[in-house]
Every structure is written in C-alpha cells, then in structure tokens.
Amino acid sequence: MKRTTRVMLSILLILVIYLFVFFAEKFMDPFIKRVLNTGFIYVILAVSLNLINGFTGQFSLGHAGFMAIGAYTSALLYMSPEQKLSNFFMEPLISPLDQIQIPFFWAIIVGGLMAALAGFIVGAPCLRVKGDYLAIVTYGFSEIIRSLFNNLQNITNGPLGLKGLPTHTNLWWTVSWAIITVIVIKRIVDSSYGRALKAIRDDEIAAENLGINLFKHKVLAFVVGAFFAGVAGGLLGSLLMTIDPNSFSILFTYQIITIILLGGLGNITGSVIVGIGFAFLMEGLRFVEMPMKIFGITIPGILGMRMLIFSILLMVTILFFRQGLFGHREFSWEGLAKLLSKRKVSE
Amino acid sequence: MMLQLVEAESSKKPSVKQTVLKMEHVTKRFGGLVAVSDFNLDLKEGELLGLIGPNGAGKTTVFNLITHVFPVSEGKMEFYGQDITKLNTDKIIRLGIARTFQNIRLFTNMTVKENIMTAFHAHLKSDLFTSVMFLPKYQREEEYIQNKTWELMKEVGIEHLADYKSSSLPYGLQRKLEIARALATNPKLLLLDEPAAGMNPDETLELNQLILRIREKYKLTIIVIEHDMKVIMNICERIIVLDHGVTIAEGTPEEIQKNPLVIKAYLGAGDEDA
C-alpha cells in the first residue's frame, strides 16, 4: 500500500471520528459523553506513558505528578479572576497569577509545557538510574509534587484544591488531543528516533555502542511523555470541575499502568482501545460497590471493589497474555486490507 | 609547470601510513585486580591486528577501554591524533569506531532490517521535529538509510531474512548481522570480539573472506579478538598476545607460533618447571 493511500485513509478515519463527535455532542446522553471524555483522557495518558515505559523501557511512576502540574498550571491560567478570588479565601493567590486569564487552548498548552519542563528537570538526574530504582525515584517525584501542592497555599490553595473550574472540556477537545497524541507518538516511534528508543529498551550497552546518546534520548522520551500528561491533566481538571492534590496520587498512575499493561507495552493500538474501555468498565462496574443480595445474603457495598476486579484482570493478563491483550499487533491499513481480503476469499 | 611536476611526484610516492589508534601505557584496575597493564599499541591505517590470549587475559577489556564502557585507570588513547581517553562511548562511536560483542547483543525485539537501520541514527542529521513531521529532508535521509541497510544486508548475505526477528536467526547469522550493524555506523576502525565463536569450519572460512572483503571495500582498520587460530593465523598481519593483562608477545603469525612465551601461556609450563 502506498504512503499517500495510507495518509488518505487516516484522514478519512479522522473525519469520520469528528462526524461522530459532532453528533455525539448534540444528541448523546451527558453521562455517556462524560465517560467518553474520561476515556479519551485515559488514551492521552496511556499512549504518552507508553512512550516512556513501553517503547523506551524506562519504568516511570511519575505520570500523576506531571498531570498535577499540567492541571494546576492550566487551571490557574484559564480561571477568571473572580473564580480565583472565591477559591483563595485562606490566603490570597500570589500576583500576577490572580489577574491573569488566557484562553483555554493556550492554558492547556502552557500546562503541557510546564509538565514537560518538570519532566526535563526531573529526568536529568533521575535517568541516571535504571529499572526498579527509576520507578522508585519517579514515584518519589510524584509524591513530592503532591506534598508541595498540598502546602503551597498561596499558589495551589493547598488541600482545599480548586473548585468550580469552568467546564471547557468537551469531546472536541479530548478527541483532538487524543488524535494529536497518537499521531505524534506514532510518528516518533516510527522514525529513526523511535528506533533509537526501542534500541535503548532492548539493550542499552549495544545502543550506546552504536553511537546513540542514551541520556539525551531517555530525556527526550520523558519530556514528550510529560508534555502530554500535562495536557491530559489540564483537560481532566476542566472536566471534573475540581482538582485537589490528592486526586493525583500514585493510584492514578497505577490505573494508567494497568491500561498499558492490558493493552501491551509498546502497543499504541492497545493503549487506545483499553484506555476507552477502561473508562466504561470503571463506570459499568459501579454496581459491585452497591449493597447486593446474593442467595439471600445481603452484602454491604464495599468501596474500592472495582479496583479488585481490575487487579484480577491484570493478574490474568500477566499470567496468560504476557504481551498484553494485543501483543505486538498494531492497527495498520495494510493489516485491515489483508483481513478484509481474506474474509472475501473464505466467503 | 614545476609545481605540477612536484605535485605529481608527491602523489606517486607511497604515503606513510597514518596512525589510526594509539594506546600508551593503558592500565585498567578493578580494585586489586589488574585486568590490563601497560598496554601499548600503534595501529596503522588498513592494518588487521589479532588480539589473542587465554581466557581472562584482558582482551575484551581492551575493547571496553577503547569504547569507554569503563574509564582507563592510567594511560592515554588517541584516535587519528584526537585524544579519546575521556570521551563518552557514544561520542567515540560517532568519531568512527565500531564494535561487535563476544556475547551477541542484538536488539531482540526488532527485525534484522531494523537492527541495522538503528545504527544509522547516530549520524542522522534531521532533528526530532523534522523527523516527526516527515519533512522532505527526513524523507531523503530515511530513503538513504533504507538503501544502505539493504546494501549491508547483501554484503553479509542476510537480505532474505530482512523482516525476521533478529532473535530467530541462527547463531552464525546473528554474528554477521552484528557485523553489518557495526558497519552501518560508518566506522574507520572495527573491533571484532570473537566473530567466529560458535561457527562451523565452513562458516569460519566464509567469515575470513567477509572480514578481508569489508576491510578492502570500506577502507577499514580492524582488530580481531579470536580463539579460533584458523581466523587469526590466516588473516591477521600482526598479533598481540595477552596473558593476565600483560602483553607477552607481539609479531607476525609465524613469529607468534614459535614464541616460547606464547606456547607456555597457552599450554602451561613444560616439564622442567614442574
């Protein structure tokens, strides 16, 4: 298949998705719309974390920290001065943040850039360690961010969090950012840079002995991943209308790691499908936390039962599908064409 | 007229061979263990040097020192006159030194083709933005990489396996893939660490020809570590013998074969010492 054909088909697919978004925004049930929005934010998070953990092989647990930075930065930029005033009643917000208000789009971008900057600052010292150590150091980073945001009363409003954020996030935003994330990361992975990242994952010593600067490329993956995590944080803040430091705890990172493990490390298709599926499962499984009557015995509702189901799902995946549910099978137009032609032959 | 004559004269004269790699008093200590001690080398352009010695003699350590897998404890190394003693691995490689590994180090999750294509990354001129946007400059580079990769696969005879996972190749072909991958970094000096290990006699013979052929074609200077004397004695012009980190002999294959110190290092002391 020619490159131009593939590009045309991809553009067509994107148009179809936007057509869906158009109708969804008009006619769809607000609850399902909300779940879909969350799903697309999960996609952004999972695909960006996959660049770091899956393709570059650097096991990072810092994604929630980058999200928090993105969420707070953008929220403080797109909130109106009056909203800020009503939020910061304990201690006033420092100037000039209390007077600034910029459009949502730019606020999200700045949030992403701040997260990327944090990714660079954190990545530079952290990426000198590998494996489990890197996981611990990045986990530490995300906890430091949480603790900082809990205590910086005059910037983040501390544990009170920010409430009554204007709802800008809708399917247009989340879908567009999810598409941008997938395209950018897919293009990185398919380029010469992606080959270098995968080489680092497979064998650092061999990669270095081919003249690849390990440090530079690891930081690169970290910065790009952090940028999109920041963007996702900004979108999530405006969707939930409220953010507080504790909502960006390590549990959030675990959820994203669950998604990329289920979808397959280094598999973008898997991250996208499981990301959206995860959001629906999270809502669909709410019934297990309700009080239930089984065989005449009443079981009181237990909060957190959903996570138990995800844990079981994760264990089954790791035991029986080591490569994730999708393995190394990526979506491609060639693959689809082959599948369709095969089906025709069998008919 | 006179000037032209002089120029013609000088171009005819066989030029003095340039020094590729110069190592002076290179020593490496791991704690109390001296892995390599006072290693000296003056490698001329186009030379094919063999590095031999019993197990644990420090041969691979010499390679690891050249490519700065770890730093030297003492001594100095120069590559084409440039001091490389303190340079990082990736920089040294980009200057034009390439190596293969004793225990093959391929990118096992990647195909044969991708393995070689990866090696071109060090010399990629397009920045990240150009590559991600697939701009014409990057397209041209990518095309160049594809063509060169194909050429290298043909050179070592693995072009029919281009899309196979590199881990699925038999041992001998994995070695050849590693050589092709090393060549892709466009080296001037190639370090081969036991290229014939695990090969049968036919494959070894073929490997000898391959090494001589690539030296000619890519104007390489080569250092080979090898236990298989069929490789060392047939293709090397000069041999250095290491034992317990100490250089015990240096010379042509004929000289080395007769050297009593070498025989002692390999076979142990004779009766009179027992």
Instruction: List the CATH number of the domain containing A18.
Output: 1.10.3470
Answer yes or no: do A210 and B181 touch at CB < 8 A.
yes
Please, which pLDDT band fits residue A335 given cuts at 50, 70 and 90? confident
Surface-to-core class of residue B184, CB atoms within 10 Å of its CB (0-12 exposed, 13-18 middle, 19+ buried)? buried
Q: Which residues of A touch B120 (CB under 8 A)?
A: 192
pTM: 0.88
> What's residue B1's pLDDT?
46
Answer yes or no: do B118 and A208 touch at CB < 8 A.
no
| Residue range of the domain that includes A134 | 3-346
Quick one: CA torsion of B182, B185, B188, B192, rounded to 10 degrees? -10
Q: Which residues of B touch A203 (CB under 8 A)?
A: 105-108
> What's residue B274's pLDDT?
40
pLDDT at B3 over 70: no
Q: Considering the domain B16-269 in this protein, what is its CATH number? A: 3.40.50.300
Q: Which of A128, A183, A191 to mutate to test the interface with B (most CBs of B within 10 A)?
A: A191
Task: Report the complex ipTM.
Answer: 0.86
**Pick from A187, A211, A214: CB nearest B185:** A211
Answer yes or no: do A191 and B138 touch at CB < 8 A.
yes
**Chain A within 8 Å of B107 (Cβ-Cβ)?**
yes
Domain boundaries, chain B: 16-269
**Chain A within 8 Å of B142 (Cβ-Cβ)?**
yes
**Chain B within 8 Å of A330 (Cβ-Cβ)?**
no
Answer yes or no: do B94 and A198 touch at CB < 8 A.
no
Nearest-neighbour CA in chain A from B50: distance (Å): 21
How many structural domains are present in chain A? 1
Q: Are A228 and A40 in contact (CB under 8 A)?
A: no
pLDDT at A302 over 80: no
User: Nearest chain B Cα to A197, which residue?
Assistant: B118
Task: Express each pLDDT in A6-42 by its tens digit.
Answer: 889 999 999 999 999 999 988 889 899 999 999 999 9
pLDDT at A334 over 50: yes
For the residues A110-117, what does the mean pLDDT come to? 96
What value, to the nearest 5°, has the Cα angle with vertex B130 and ends B124 and B136?
90
**Chain A within 8 Å of B206 (Cβ-Cβ)?**
no
**Chain B within 8 Å of A187 (Cβ-Cβ)?**
yes
Rounded-to-integer distance, Cα A57 and Cα B110, Å:
14
**Chain A within 8 Å of B69 (Cβ-Cβ)?**
yes
Q: How many CB pairs (< 8 A) connect A and B?
A: 100
Share of chain A above pLDDT 90, in %: 59
- Residue B79 structure tokens: 């590559």
For the residues B118-132, what does the mean pLDDT come to? 90
Q: Are A325 and A317 in contact (CB under 8 A)?
A: yes
Nearest-neighbour CA in chain A from B52: distance (Å): 22
> What's residue A60's pLDDT?
92
Rounded-to-integer distance, Cα B177 and Cα B158, Å:
7
Please, which pLDDT band fits residue A347 given cuts at 50, 70 and 90? low
- Residue B245 structure tokens: 């980190």
pLDDT at A313 over 90: no
Rounded-to-integer distance, Cα A291 and Cα A302, Å:
8
Answer yes or no: do B90 and A211 touch at CB < 8 A.
yes
Q: Which residues of A touch B89 (CB under 8 A)?
A: 208-209
Q: Which ranges in chain B belong to alpha helices (H)?
A: 2-12, 59-66, 89-96, 112-118, 128-132, 136-156, 171-183, 201-218, 229-235, 253-258, 260-267
Task: Express each pLDDT in B206-234 by its tens digit.
Answer: 999 999 999 999 999 999 999 888 888 88
For the residues A219-231, what does the mean pLDDT come to? 95
For the residues A95-119, what does the mean pLDDT come to? 92
B252: alpha, beta or left, given left = phi > 0 and alpha = psi -120 to 50? beta
